[in-house]
A and B are shown apart, each in its own frame.
Chain A
Amino acid sequence: MSSTVLFRRGRVIDPRNGVDGVRDVLVRDGKVVEVSEALLPVPSSAEVVDATGKWVLPGFIDLHVHLREPGEEGKETVLTGCRAAVAGGFTAVVAMPNTKVVNDNAMVTELVLNRARAAGLCHVYPAGAITKGLKGEELAEMGELVSAGCVAITDDGRPVMNASLMRRTLQYATQFDVPVMVHEEDLTLSAGGAMHEGTTSTRLGLRGIPASAEVAMVARDLVLLEETKGRLHVAHVSCEGSVRLIREAKRSGLRVTCEVAPHHFILDDRAVGDYDTHAKMAPPLRADTDVQALREALVDGTVDAIATDHAPHGVLDKQVEFEKGINGIVGLETALGLTLELVHAGVLTANRAVELLTHGPAKAFGLPGGHLAPGAPADVTVVDPDVEWTVDAHQFHSRSRNTPFHGRKQKGRVIQTWVAGHRVFDKGQVGQSKESR
């Protein structure tokens, strides 16, 4: 594979560097060398990618992905998760620690990193657990996790219910300057709930999860954040109340960032329809007014990143009574299309949409990439903004198919993904991993 690549005449959208226009992008030895308005001469031995009419973007970064390895390899592995990632245009993913051996120690962190290296497709940044075994009782060895390569700590999937423990977590984490990523759910308020509490839950006779289950915890943690001067990242924000509090906290200078998942800004609780477990996740799909508030927060900068909360599950986890259905949907391969729906609808500019997938998440977690200035990693996603296609879960590169978006019409699709100057996805095919090379 060529180590010099010239992306010709694509529309480069690089929000961090204020670029939005037709450019040539030259990359060499895994780095961006030059971004030029003028035609660049083709270096000898360079591979030329004709990007006319296409978008040439910094590789997408997903702060919230469940790769399921170790422990639930039937749902996903680091390899299949990376395949799904690059197929969706993601060149970096943050892997959640709630695997079936919890990533609460360096051995598990290293296992994930080794598997990612072997896959050789995209960057995988593990997140370590806040508490041992995600039990919410004792702190995991944060120093060890960070030095092993964890970029954030989180008990994702579960809240830290104990306020004192949460306060100490924020305090302790300040010495490493890692974000504390929180799944905000007061379990006493959400107990037994299967979907958002509202007219639809009343109609369907399903126990509701009130918005306050999230908002009350966001409020608590922002108070603790102010006191500890720590760094907080609120995962998968789902409702208006949370957005309002985070907006206000940002204005007052607190170090808080947050992410929103595409399903939360596209669907509302009515998508549960006829007890469709593919519309079941935590936090649940909320009211249309919440969807509206999330969209406004994506626009005004309250939200830092679009993150998928890619949560692979098997058929048997979903083909059950709604109350028994397991939470979560896969998201890596549908994220761009759903984000572009907001662009087509005039809610987001293309520039802002790209920022939420690239520089926004990079900045929130302090990760490399997310932009295309000279010297930046040659992580590039090429998008055809005009192609119309239909989501087909059977074609997913992920090992799982659990999505409520099967059959949804989309406009705009990833056609190529490059990581460190190597082509890892092209025309629907994931490049050979190093393992099989």
Chain B
Amino acid sequence: MPRKDVSHLQDLRRRLTSQRGRGYWRSLEELAGSAEFQRYVEREFPEGASQWKANRREFLTLMGASLALAGLSGCGGQPPEQIVPYVEQPEQLVPGKPLYFATAMTTGGVATGLLVESHMGRPTKIEGNPKHPSVPAAFWQGSETTAPGVSDIFSQAAILTLYDPDRSQTVTRAGEISTWDEFLTALRPKLEGQASIEGRGIRLLTETITSPTLAAQIAEFRQRYPDSQWHQFEPVNRDNELAGAKLALGEFMGTHYHLDRADVILSLDSDFLTSGPDHLRHAMEFASRRDVQPATNSRAEMSRLYVLESTPTLTGMKADHRLPLRAGQIEAFAIALAERLGVSVEESQCTELTDTTRRWLETIAADLQNYRRQDDPGASLVIAGPSASPFVHGLVHAINRVLGNTGQTVTYSEPVEAQPVVQNESLRELVADMEAGKVDVLFILGGNPVYTSPADLRFANALDRVPFRVRLGLYEDETSARCHWHIPETHFLESWSDARAANGTASIVQPLIAPFYQGRSSHELLSAMLGKPGRSPLDLVKEHWQNRLNDTEDFESVWQTALHEGFISGTQWPKKSATVRQVSDLLKNASRSGRFEDLPRDQVDVVFRPDPTIWDGRFANNGWLQELPKPLSKLTWDNAALVGPELAERLKLENGDVIELEHEQRRLAAPVWIVPGHPDQSVTVHFGYGRARAGRVGSGAGFNAFEFQTSASPWHIDGVSLRTTGRRMPLAATQHHHLMEGRDLVRGGTLGQLRDNPHGPEFMQSHEHGEATSLFPPDEHKYEGYKWAMTIDLNRCLGCNACAVACQAENNIPVVGKDQVARGREMHWIRVDSYYEGPAVNPRVVHQPVPCMHCENAPCEPVCPVGATVHGDEGLNEMVYNRCVGTRYCSSNCPYKVRRFNFLQYSDLEKPSLKLLNNPNVTVRNRGVMEKCTYCVQRISAARIQSEKEERSIRDGELVTACQAACPSQAIVFGDLNDPASRVKQQTEDPLNYSLLGELNTRPRTTYLAALRNPNPELETMESKASH
């Protein structure tokens, strides 16, 4: 390093020494706080980073060196190959102690606040950011700086995508390696050519954009090229919600639900608990109204949820009453309900309903109305899902209005999108322009439209007619392959940006690490398109907010707070009043497709949905999400045509039989998977599979449902003919038996039963006799210090799998692949079991997360011949990996089958980037070793060290396990049983608490709280009559 930089370094040093008191700093930039520093680091740093093919050691060298430089001026001339020891430790950076940084991730354009754990400069684990309005807090009473928030599977798994070795790493031109500079050179004449014609030939295709900075950049671009067009398209979009709002309210609006206020909820095909914007808040609010623990709810009251759905979802499985209907039938039901509730609908559809459905309608309508209390109106809520037609959305706005819910359980605001459009229309216009040869230059920012566009648009063919096509993407995928230029995009953990949360709050996307490859963010690309290449995304974002907040006195401190908190406070949308238009007007403007009557026998409805784990295919190369069992079907690594048991019985279909669907000359062959509770005469297919260029992990798995989708009706098609092919395809599922075989594995009952006998409800009585008298001496363990235990509240659990991915990320759990899953060798330390009860046509489903039980009488311990699994003084059942020789005796003797074995070398020890991903506090296990849940013993140790330094014991809530932190409904509680005030202690004494297989005298430390339902007595009698 040249000596002339001394002045900057002195400045840095001064800043370093003058900063005090903040719990953590988020970036070198903040640390240095100056633009000079930024440039300085850019000059020094990307030299290594841009040629990224480093292994861990080189990486640490780089990070170590750059951080050392930040705190130290005297080490110029050190060869970069050596790790520079700190002569003076940079403040806050203690080796072995992670730092936490706030950032945000977008799904469907909407931001979720995240808190990312970083070890010596490499991000390793993602939690929710509880300060962020989209993220409810996990229970936490420790240091404020590390308080975790809840999260979902996508944010948990995002860290793996960051380190994915298959991400595109370089600019390519027609498949050949090129450079950013060459791209700029090629771009300039194209744009100059367009400047004279006002940009008439320029089109911009993005995903849903909520980023204020990017929107401003696009606006600036369109100012310069006024005739250019901006299209937005995402396959899983909110078109119908937006169109419905426009229909009913006269303009695009954002709708917000407040489930904590809602006593009765009716969902029309909405999976509001586990997907869509704000689902984390929904889950927590819903769970809080289902909680009947005496401590929090002395009156033992619960909200009631009715779900009508065309495909089984986790929300449906949490319902007190669930009615499977075909997509078209739901619309007819909605019209009838609106009429019944006093929304004047001109042409009555009610006659179409069957008697049973009519009774459902009457009961639900009465319940919705009864809950409309005189003194406190608006305690019910009707929600329509993204697949419901705009017309149904319009009706639902009207119904909520009639029920008095508007302003109470439903509020309105500006839409979160920077420029809301009906995206299917937007894409259709673009395709029409491309086909007409009107498009000369096309920029595709993100997305993967060649793969995700509906088949009838023939997007790829139209794309080929554009003379200059530029693609910015994380992967060199199907779309990149058809573009002239591919620019690697930065991961959100590598680059600066901003985005809005569902309530409008502007969130700052802050990088944790310098870009690995030659990645560029969309801000950089737009900046280059505006003729200002080389501007850093940080400058762009910061400048945007500086201009926006120009009346603020001290922008720098506002900015610092925003970086620290992860969002800019006060930017949420204000509530907006909305007037619902006359429904008769609605009917005039809307086209309807709902039909109630049965379809012809050889026809089915096909319902399209994003895949529960890999969404629209964007996570296809994420092994964690591929291997995560899909809720209900428990499939991994594949999608399938989900059918109900009646259809399967009629056509004599078994799991894995390949069927062929045909509609308007489009054909789709798909293996069948039978899901109890799926509506009859209906087939669900999931997007995201059948990828040709996803990467080593995702390519070639499953079938492509987009090839069967139409733009006119993107969520479902009716009148599809179905035939069997006689072929079979192997599918890999993690659970094959969903019946409890009369065992008391999941206990549960109704709220009424609990009220009748609050201290020992009938459903808590076990069939098996309890703990028998033992001839053996009492437990040799005294557990005088801590006595760790976990409770899992099945009443709160949604079955969303966030715990499983969080555990995988925290504990370096490897991915094993489809073949190994099919052999029954998945490695998840916590799994979510699902059991069905009742008739297969419409069963009740209960979810049960199962980690290690940490039994006090652990059957695994005495059988290990080498003492590799032993009992700790605090009650943990500990695995000593080094000692394990792999007899697997412990697993044979584990009644819960929670132990996982490395049958082959599953951990990837080769790929440098994947090595960086690992949590340094958890051993990476090799072949031949048994492993299992440790209660996150590394977190216990960290808390112990902290508490011992402060000469106190670990407080309740100062320590959360990874699964507990992630759980969106906070169903998992972990703590010390010796602390009489701890939450876990209270929960183990709850009358609803029970031990799984407690009759085996294993005395598990992980216990469960029974699941409760709040059924409507009228429907309950009707259902029980129907099933007998």
Q: Do A and B come from one complex?
A: no
Chain B residues at the A interface, C-beta cutoff of 8 Å: none
